[in-house]
Amino acid sequence: MSLYRNKLIYRGKLILGREVRIKISMLVLLAVTLTVTTGDNLAEDNETVPEATVFYATATVRERPVTSATAAVTVIEREAIEVTGARTVAELLRFVPGLDVTSGGTRGTLATAQIRGGDPNYTQVLLDGVPLNDGTYQVGDVFDLEGLTAAAVERLEIVRGPLSSFYGSTGLAGAINIITRRGSDGSGGDVELEGGNASLRRAAASLAGAAGTASYFVAVSLDEEQQRVAEESFSQGSAHANLDLALGARSSLRLSSRFASWEASDYPDASGGPVFGSGELRRSDHQESSLGVELLLGSGERHKLTAAVYRHRLDRVSPAVFPLVPSSTERTNFTNTRLGWAGSIYTSHRFQLAVGTEIGRQEGENRSTLLLPAFLGGEVPGDYQLVRTTPGAYAELLVDYGDLLIEVGSRLDFPENAGASSEGDSRKVEWSPRLGLRYRLGRQGSTRLRASAGRSFKLPSFFALASPPQLGGNPELRPETMIGGDLGVEHGSESAPLSGALTLFYNRYENLVDFDFETFSHVNRSRVAARGIESYLTWRPGPTFTARVNVTWQEVENLDSPVRLRHRPQWVGGLRLTWKPQPGLRLELSSQGTSSSFDEQIPVPELNTTAGYGLLAFASSWELAPGWQLRGRIDNLADNNYEALIGFPGPGRSLRLGLRRTFGPGGRPSAASSAGRPQIPQDAREGDQR
**What was the pLDDT predicted at 326?**
86
Between the CA of residue 377 and those of 15, 133, 165, 374, 387, what are the distances in Å?
10, 34, 47, 5, 30
- Please give the DSSP secondary-structure letter assigned to residue 271: S
**What was the pLDDT predicted at 36?**
35
- CATH architecture under which domain 36-223+233-513+649-684 falls: Beta Barrel (2.40)
Between the CA of residue 98 and those of 5, 144, 268, 482, 517, what are the distances in Å?
21, 19, 28, 17, 33
**What was the pLDDT predicted at 301?**
59
**What was the pLDDT predicted at 4?**
38
**What was the pLDDT predicted at 41?**
31
Cβ count near 207 (within 10 Å):
18
Which value, to the nearest 10 degrees, does the dihedral of the CA atoms of residues 112, 113, 119, 123 take?
-110
**What was the pLDDT predicted at 138?**
80
22 phi, psi to nearest 5 deg: -65, -45
Could you list the beta-strand ranges (E) of 417-544.
430-441, 447-458, 480-491, 498-516, 521-542
**What was the pLDDT predicted at 664?**
82
**What was the pLDDT predicted at 422?**
45
591 phi, psi to nearest 5 deg: -135, 150
Q: How far apart are the first and last CA of the chain?
A: 40
**What was the pLDDT predicted at 417?**
64
**What was the pLDDT predicted at 517?**
62
**What was the pLDDT predicted at 411?**
95
Residues of the chain with pLDDT under 70: 1-55, 299-301, 417-427, 443-445, 493-494, 517-518, 665-690
pTM, two decimals, is: 0.87
**What was the pLDDT predicted at 494?**
64
Contact 152, 240 (CB under 8 A): yes
**What was the pLDDT predicted at 421?**
46
